Amino acid sequence: MTAPFGRRISAVLSKRVVGAYVVLGIGEEHAAGAPGQFYMLSSVLGWGGGVDGRPYLARAISVLYARVGEVGFLLEDVGPGTRVLCSLEPGDEVHVVGPLGRGFSPPEEEREAVLVGGGVGIPPLAMFQERWGGRALLGFRDARHAQAAALLRDAQLATDDGSVGHRGFVTELLERELERRADEISVYACGPPAMLEAVRALAVARGVPAQLALEAPMACGFGACFGCVVATADGYKRVCVDGPVFEAALLA
């Protein structure tokens, strides 16, 4: 499903705190059609005009869930724009553009889907699992951030400080999985760039099908500004319209 043209106003319907994150539910009739799609979000009030007086660009936020009349997002306060979004309460209004981008494709029947996520990159995997199943390997900084693993079923965890699950990177869990049964699984991943590059390298080295949902700074979301290009085997692609999901082999 693609977005209707133009920005519109929607209301915040729900809000809850999950560890270090905020889950916002926003009223939306044009719900995302595929896991991995995203929206451009900005608040109607208080958007910009901070200490330096500059406006903020809308933030590209992956969809966590899509229900009749409501779409959900997982947010973390990591800067002035996300701080404003995290401060919203039910009844507040947001500008929305979406759903945008190309999401994940359904898993192959003969392979089990292994979902690899890091931090605030887990929303597309939660939506994927709800729709198509799959086993999740998730990585977080610490136990507080790892509370977001409850948004998926039966996830195996890794934390940087070892406070929950495996001490180390989630890609170490994936490497063990690939050593055991590389010919039985497909990989679907979303997270920070360093994690995705490690997933890409592991999958390509073993010939395992993998789809990666890339993160990139975006100004428009429609492919007009070319601010989110990524190099591929077929030349430069725009993450917002050609992705954000790409085959790992295309990025090799």
pLDDT in tens, 14-51: 999 999 999 999 998 866 678 999 999 999 988 876 66
Q: Do residues 126 and 149 share a domain? A: yes
CA distance 211 to 27: 29
Tokens describing residue 144: 């507080």
* Residue 105, domain member (yes or no): no
* Cis amide bond preceding 99, omega within 30: yes
Residues 38, 132, single domain; the answer is no
In this model, does residue 224 exceed pLDDT 90?
Answer: no
β-pairing, 93-100 with 166-167? Answer: unpaired
pLDDT at res. 51: 65
Give the pLDDT confidence score for residue 4 in this predicted structure: 64
Which pLDDT belongs to residue 1? 60
* Joined tokens for residue 206: 């073993």
Global pTM? Answer: 0.93
pLDDT bracket for residue 141 (50, 70, 90):
very high
- Structural domains of the chain, count: 2
**Given pLDDT bands bounded at 50, 70 and 90, which one contains residue 226?**
confident
Q: Is the per-residue pLDDT at 221 higher than 90?
A: no
Residues 88 and 159 in one domain: no
Q: Is residue 1 part of a domain?
A: no
Q: Which of 43-47, 181-185, 219-223 has the lowest mean pLDDT?
A: 219-223
39 and 155 assigned to the same domain: no
Mean pLDDT of all residues belonging to the chain: 92
Instruction: Specify whether 143 is located in the same domain as 231.
Output: yes
CATH code for the domain of 217: 3.40.50.80
Query: Do 87 and 156 have their domain in common?
Result: no
Do 143 and 236 share a domain, yes or no? Answer: yes
Same domain, 127 and 234: yes
State the pLDDT at residue 32. Answer: 67
Better-scored residue on pLDDT, 28 or 172: 172
Of 99, 133, 152, the residue that ends a domain is: 99
Query: 44 and 122 share a domain?
Result: no
192-209 per-position pLDDT tens digit: 999 999 999 999 999 999
pLDDT in tens, 45-104: 888 766 666 678 899 999 999 988 999 999 999 988 999 999 999 999 999 999 999 999
Residues 60 and 180 in one domain: no
Final residue of a domain: which of 43, 68, 99? 99
What percent of the chain has pLDDT above 70? 94
Q: Is residue 232 part of a domain?
A: yes
Last residue of a domain, one of 67, 99, 131: 99
Nearest one of 191, 216, 61, 211 to 119, comparing CA atoms: 191
Has residue 106 been placed in a domain? Answer: no
Cα atoms in the 13 Å half-sphere on the side-chain side of 23: 20
Structural domain of residue 173, as residue ranges? Answer: 112-251
Q: Which helix (H) or strand (E) holds 143?
A: helix 143-146
Instruction: Please tell me whether residues 91 and 124 are part of one structural domain.
Output: no
In a domain, 87, yes or no: yes
Do 147 and 219 lie in a common domain? Answer: yes
User: 147 in helix, strand or coil?
Assistant: helix
pLDDT of residue 90: 98
Look at residue 2 and tell me if it is in a domain.
no
